[in-house]
Structure 1
């Protein structure tokens, strides 16, 4: 348990940061799910639009430290390949 004033403050900040990161991760997953659903429906135009919306969201997660850069790049690459294959 935190005892010093500094460690108490850091514990408070960690809780707040955890909530923010959880919301960001959830938002990213939502955008990825929309792309997955568009691919499953077979509509290339909708899938491309969903991917275009998901890319900046994923990269924002990278800059905020929620997702690793290579993970985001891998996800975008694989989704883009799947959308392209819809043609």
Structure 2
């Protein structure tokens, strides 16, 4: 338990931010699973659409500081390579 009013407020703010961040991270993970399901089903148009949605979500989250920029770039690169190999 916080000992001061300032600490109590900061604790409330942290709980609110944590909930928001968890929601965004969950959405990003769901978009990855959607992409992987489309790749498994060999549905290229759906995979491309899922990839574009994933890129938008992870770029937004990275801009807000939820992910490190290199980690976001690595995930995008790996999924893009999967999409490229699906074409051949």
Question: TM-score with structure 2 length normalisation?
Answer: 0.93
Aligned residues between the structures: 87
Structure 1 stretches (4+) deviating beyond 4 angstroms?
A: none
Structure 2: which 5+ residue stretches go unaligned? none
CA RMSD of aligned residues (A): 0.9
Q: Which residue matches 1:22?
A: 22
Structure 1: which 5+ residue stretches go unaligned? none
Q: Which residue matches 1:50?
A: 50
Residues 28-71 of structure 1: CA distance to partner in whole angstroms, max 9, x if unpaired?
11111111111111121211111011101011110122111111
Question: TM-score with structure 1 length normalisation?
Answer: 0.94
- Larger relative contact order, structure 1 or 2 (CA cutoff 8 Å, min sep 6): 1
